[in-house]
Amino acid sequence: MTEKRMEFKTETTQLLDLMIHSLYSHKEIFLRELISNASDAIDKARFESLTDTAISEDGGEGGFKIKISIDKEAGTLSIADNGIGMTRDEAITELGTIAHSGTKEFIEALKESKGKESPELIGQFGVGFYSTFLVADTVTVLSRKAGADSKSGIKWESTADGSFSIDDIEKETKGTEIILHIKEDEKGYLDDYEVRGLVKKYSDFIEHPIAMDVEKEVDSKEAEGKEAEGEKVKVTEEETLNSQKALWLKSKSEIEPSEYNEFYKHISHDYTDPSDTIHYNVEGTSEFTSLLFVPATRPVDILYKEYQMGLTLYVKRVKILEHCEKLLPQYLRFLKGVVDSSDLPLNVSREMLQNNSQVDVIKNSITKKALGRFKELKDKEYDRYVKFYKEYGRLLKEGLHFDFERREAITDLLLFASTKTEGDSLRSFEQYVGDMGEGQEEIFYITATTIEEAKNSPYLEVFNEKGLEVLILLDDIDDMIMGGVEFKGKKLKSVIKGDLNVDKEETEEKKELEEKFKGLIGSVAETLKENIGGVRVSSRLKDSPCCLVPDEGAMDPNMERMLKSMGQDIPEHKKTLEINATHPLLEKMAALQEADAESELLKEYTEVLYDQALLLEGSKPKDSTAFVNRVAKIMAGSAVEPS
């Protein structure tokens, strides 16, 4: 067979035109596409060599290699491999058609974008080889199938004019060489510095060496292998451009901890070793490898919107995207690392990852794996886990809200200070529930800004007296999130909110007291009706005279203060004033009320009582001046009962 001219399919021609247009500013991707094809071809040859003895298992002399050559005079850049190669038929079918289904729809979509840049559309198709026409006006492919003894090969050539030629040739070496006749205004790609940069940027971790002949100036004597100091001469040396270190593809047992650490520092720009490494691969319907790191300390900007989360996505060792946020749930955004997928198309774009089921599979797997690893740390290396938790516990809690499916797993990972912990030690739900006394149905918690503040809170009086443990929650999001949490069927209950019924006996007693203080409760409620939602006898208080309690579903005072300080409008919610029926002050007020339901003094006392409740919840009195004057008056004894 000799030279033959053939037409591209119409679709291919259309696609070529459109693609050249829309990928205009992403031309440089041509090199990574060709390198990736070459690498695939080598992988195939290596694979075939397992069963076909005619194919060398190591690529023959010099080993498997991708070789880039620049010929400035001829204006060509070529990429050669010693991989599987193509037969004449294969070249015609593989390089002359676009095999993807949905090509028509794709062309329509491209047309619609009217030549606007639309790499995200291109991203949905492996345009691969055709991207060469972004920078070349003529592309020549020389190929010889691996395994064939004769030197017969083929030459495929096209100028992207709707047709290509195919011819039989003699080819010395096995494999494929793609020769790009670089366009006049793209000559920058004939610069070895430029090429080296592109290889580093996109293909550094390609497993096979990517070599290039570079001219170097050396001493003439040095060039001859003698001691230096001669004239300068130019020599050509073969340089390997990529580090080839696809660390994540090595088996775990072959990797030194220091290698992991160096790699982490390289990708994260961190100076410190990571505190943990998770490395695993998945085979089967979905195939990918994932290498994840937990930074030793949490990034300072992690709670800000500007924080760039995400993993680096590789597809078959080709770097595709950095900061790929779709591979992780938000609450694991502290993880750094890489994912290398065998399933995603090489030209996958950020937009395309949006609703991609493969990506969801990876994300789910990583989430499960990471949570599993944290659990393992908690169970087996508790001290190390506590360190981890202090950095990332706040973030894990976000998952309670956003990852409903894994709520239980996340709940299990949480740790807290409590009224029973000393210093900075922490307790888990497991420990709390294990130590719960009989009849306790709920897990009690208090939100506060410091452990100190929580431990001194009047809301804890009855709990302390009864020896009931209360968890101390210090994170800003606790109030929003923890209310709905359950552990082993035990609900969480804020000691600050809602009515408390610690035990049955007490409930009975409370009913009697409510009856006894009925008059006072009515008067106080009337005086403070602008400020409070109601008055009741407290089950919380033992020492303090009173406190303010939000309803069960309401926001807790810490949260309310925080949001107010951020200038947010908080819907008005009137709290309940709880009174301590065993406190002498209340006895006195009840007596005042009985003597004279309209007593001015009782009203003064009521106002002070309310201000005290405000102070106890951490707020300011309604009117500081009025409060101080009232207290001063009472202290000076001038407010004695009128005779």
| Close Cβ partners of 631 (under 8 Å, ≥ 6 residues apart) | 608
x-marked contacts with ligand ADP along 251-270 as a string, rule CB under 6 A: --------------------
Side-by-side strand order, sheet with 136-144: 4-7, 163-170, 152-158, 136-144, 175-182, 76-81, 66-71, 210-219, 232-240
Least distance (Å) between residue 94 CB and ligand ADP: 4
The percent of the chain in helix, strand and coil, each rounded to the nearest 5, is 40, 20, 35
- Choosing from 59, 83, 209, 458, the residue that interacts with ligand ADP (CB under 6 A) is 83
> Is residue 129 at the binding interface for ligand ADP, with CB under 6 A as the rule?
yes
- Window of 84-92, 182-190, 310-318, 354-362 that interacts with ligand ADP by CB under 6 A: 84-92
Question: Rounded distance, CA 615 to CA 535, Å?
Answer: 17
Least distance (Å) between residue 279 CB and ligand ADP: 28
| Close Cβ partners of 334 (under 8 Å, ≥ 6 residues apart) | 294, 295, 298, 299, 302, 391, 392, 395
- In the chain, the largest separation of any two C-alpha atoms, in whole Å, equals 128
Least distance (Å) between residue 46 CB and ligand ADP: 13
- Choosing from 29, 35, 41, 454, the residue that interacts with ligand ADP (CB under 6 A) is 41
Inter-residue contact 113 to 121 (CB < 8 Å): yes
Least distance (Å) between residue 164 CB and ligand ADP: 13
Least distance (Å) between residue 291 CB and ligand ADP: 25
3-state SS, 484-542, equals CCEECCEEEEECCCCCCCCCHHHHHHHHHHHHHCHHHHHHHHHHCCCCCCEEEECCCCC
> Is residue 128 at the binding interface for ligand ADP, with CB under 6 A as the rule?
yes
Inter-residue contact 75 to 140 (CB < 8 Å): no
Question: Rounded distance, CA 617 to CA 572, Å?
Answer: 17
> Is residue 415 at the binding interface for ligand ADP, with CB under 6 A as the rule?
no
Which residue is nearest to ligand ADP, using beta carbons? 128
> Is residue 95 at the binding interface for ligand ADP, with CB under 6 A as the rule?
yes
> Is residue 86 at the binding interface for ligand ADP, with CB under 6 A as the rule?
yes
Nearer to ligand ADP, 132 or 544 (CB): 132
Least distance (Å) between residue 86 CB and ligand ADP: 5
Q: To which H or E segment does residue 588 belong?
A: helix 584-595
- Choosing from 12, 14, 22, 37, the residue that interacts with ligand ADP (CB under 6 A) is 37
> Is residue 157 at the binding interface for ligand ADP, with CB under 6 A as the rule?
no
Nearer to ligand ADP, 133 or 248 (CB): 133
CA angle 282, 323, 371 (to 5 degrees): 45
3-state SS, 111-123, equals HHCCCCCCHHHHC
> Is residue 487 at the binding interface for ligand ADP, with CB under 6 A as the rule?
no
CA angle 416, 419, 425 (to 5 degrees): 45
> Is residue 43 at the binding interface for ligand ADP, with CB under 6 A as the rule?
no
Nearer to ligand ADP, 86 or 320 (CB): 86
Q: Which amino acid is at 332?
A: L
Residues 539 to 578: which contact ligand ADP by CB under 6 A? Answer: none
Side-by-side strand order, sheet with 288-294: 276-282, 288-294, 336-341, 311-315, 318-324
* Half-sphere CA count of 511, side-chain side, radius 13 A: 5
Least distance (Å) between residue 50 CB and ligand ADP: 18
- Choosing from 176, 349, 356, 457, the residue that interacts with ligand ADP (CB under 6 A) is 176
- Window of 30-38, 151-159, 327-335, 591-599 that interacts with ligand ADP by CB under 6 A: 30-38
Least distance (Å) between residue 240 CB and ligand ADP: 19
| Residue whose C-alpha is closest to residue 348's, from 376, 307, 318 | 318
Least distance (Å) between residue 174 CB and ligand ADP: 10
- Window of 34-42, 112-120, 260-268, 426-434 that interacts with ligand ADP by CB under 6 A: 34-42
Nearer to ligand ADP, 358 or 593 (CB): 358
Nearer to ligand ADP, 164 or 385 (CB): 164
> Is residue 38 at the binding interface for ligand ADP, with CB under 6 A as the rule?
yes
Least distance (Å) between residue 326 CB and ligand ADP: 22
Least distance (Å) between residue 256 CB and ligand ADP: 34
> Is residue 418 at the binding interface for ligand ADP, with CB under 6 A as the rule?
no
- Choosing from 28, 81, 192, 412, the residue that interacts with ligand ADP (CB under 6 A) is 81
Least distance (Å) between residue 126 CB and ligand ADP: 3
Helices 29-49 and 192-203 pack at an angle, to 10 degrees, of 60
| Residue whose C-alpha is closest to residue 614's, from 526, 552, 528, 501 | 528
Binding site for ligand ADP (CB under 6 A): 33, 37-38, 41, 81, 83-86, 94-95, 126, 128-129, 176
